[in-house]
Amino acid sequence: MLQTQKELLTLLSDIGIEYTNHEHPAVFTVEEAALHQDGIKGAHSKNLFFKDKKKHLFLVVTLADKPIKIKDVAKKIGGNNMSFAKPDLLMEVLGMIPGAVTPFAAVNIKDHEVKIVLDEALMAHDLLNFHPLENTATTTIASDDLVKFLEHCGQSPEIIRL
pTM, rounded to two decimals? 0.93
Predicted confidence (pLDDT) per residue in 96-107, tens digit: 988 899 999 999
Q: For residues 153 and 106, what is the distance between their CA atoms, to the nearest angstrom?
A: 6
Q: pLDDT value at position 88?
A: 96
Predicted confidence (pLDDT) per residue in 22-59, tens digit: 999 888 888 888 888 888 999 999 999 999 999 999 99
Q: What value, to the nearest 5°, has the Cα angle with vertex 40 and ends 96 and 161?
A: 65
Find out whether 28 and 120 touch, Cβ atoms under 8 Å: no
Q: For residues 47 and 30, what is the distance between their CA atoms, to the nearest angstrom?
A: 9
Find out whether 68 and 122 touch, Cβ atoms under 8 Å: no
Strands 83-84 and 43-51, by their bridges, are antiparallel
